[in-house]
Amino acid sequence: MNYISKVLIKIFIICPIAIMLSYKFVPAFMPALVPWSFVLALLSDGIDDEKYGVKFKIRIVIYLLMAIITYANLYAGWQFYYKITKDIERDAIMEADDTSAVEEANKSRQPVYYDNESDCIYRYKEGDGSCFLDECYSQSTVLNIPSYVNVCEGKGENETYTEYKVTYIEQSAFYKNGYIEKVIIPDTVYRIESEAFNECHNLKEVVIGDSVESFDNRGEGLFVDMPDVTIVCNKDSAAYKYAVDNNIKVKLMGEE
């Protein structure tokens, strides 16, 4: 095996495998190894044009194409890995039977509460009595977000219920919810994060009270590519100003 072959093996075979192992998610990247079975066979015999009937320059082009295919697969696998991490956490929360199991599934984050009635996940801050809507999987057409959620803490004789006020809606909380057509936000909410309703293509109305003063903290929009959505609010509210400034349809409360 000549020098060029050894260099190509290091760059285009060993590096991708090292990347795969570092992510500890080899199955997602396995398609990247398929085209390399052919390349590895060629490199094992070095640059032997008489055996394969391929000119040196053409062979190098083939190697580069295989490298592009491999790294494209690596990127796709990384995207898949990133996407499922949130899905795994969501499933762990929704399948948990009690608060202890929910907290165990989310050790690195704030404690969570899954509300069966609204089919939403709330994260609460112990000690200050507030929480925020983190994710929503409701299949209802109309969702009335509660002002407060009652969280069961402890078990058996030590079981108590603590009331937490819903104060804001997290980024991407309703992302790709294809069921909801109308969302009613309570007066306890004062902030709605960026992309909160992105790709909710059936969403028609969001009712926002005067309490909400902060919108779209990252400037990325609340309703990206959703031209049919309408904000229902009062004229002197921050919601009305946000709608006008961002060319979002707006309707005053009380109007038909």
Strand, coil or helix: what is 40? Answer: helix
83 and 146 belong to one structural domain: no
Residue finishing a domain among 94, 111, 128: 94
pLDDT of residue 255: 79
- By residue range, what is the domain housing residue 9? 3-94
- Using alpha carbons, select from 160, 163, 133, 135 the residue that is nearest to residue 149: 163
Residues 87 and 105 in one domain: no
Examine the domain organization and report whether 210 and 137 are in the same domain: yes
Domain match, 141 and 26 both: no
- Same domain? For 90 and 178 the reply is no
135 & 187 share domain: yes
Last residue of a domain, one of 66, 94, 122: 94
Given this model, what pLDDT does residue 73 score?
Answer: 67
Please report the beta strands in 17-159, taking only residues with DSSP state E, as ranges in sequence order: 112-115, 120-125, 130-136, 142-144, 148-153
| Nearest residue to 226 via CA among 254, 206, 210 | 206
Q: What is the pTM of this model?
A: 0.57
Exposure on the CB side of residue 185, measured as CA atoms within 13 A? 27
CATH number of the CATH domain containing 102: 3.80.10.10
pLDDT value of position 186? 95
10, with CB counted inside 10 A (0-12, 13-18, 19+), is: exposed
Query: What does each C-alpha distance from 242 to 70, 144, 150 come to in angstroms?
Result: 45, 21, 32
Same domain, 155 and 223: yes
Question: Which residue among 38, 73, 94 closes a domain?
Answer: 94
* Count of the separate structural domains present in the chain: 2
Q: Is the domain of 111 the same as that of 230?
A: yes
CA distance 76 to 28: 8
Instruction: Judge if 143 and 51 occupy the same domain.
Output: no
**Whole-number Å distance between alpha carbons of 64 and 28:** 22
- Note whether 173 and 218 are same-domain residues: yes
Q: What are the 10-residue block averages of pLDDT along the chain, 256 residues in total?
A: 56 56 48 51 51 59 69 65 57 51 47 83 82 92 93 78 91 91 96 92 94 84 88 94 93 85
Tell whether 55 and 151 lie within a shared domain: no
Q: Identify whether residues 41 and 80 lie together within a single domain.
A: yes
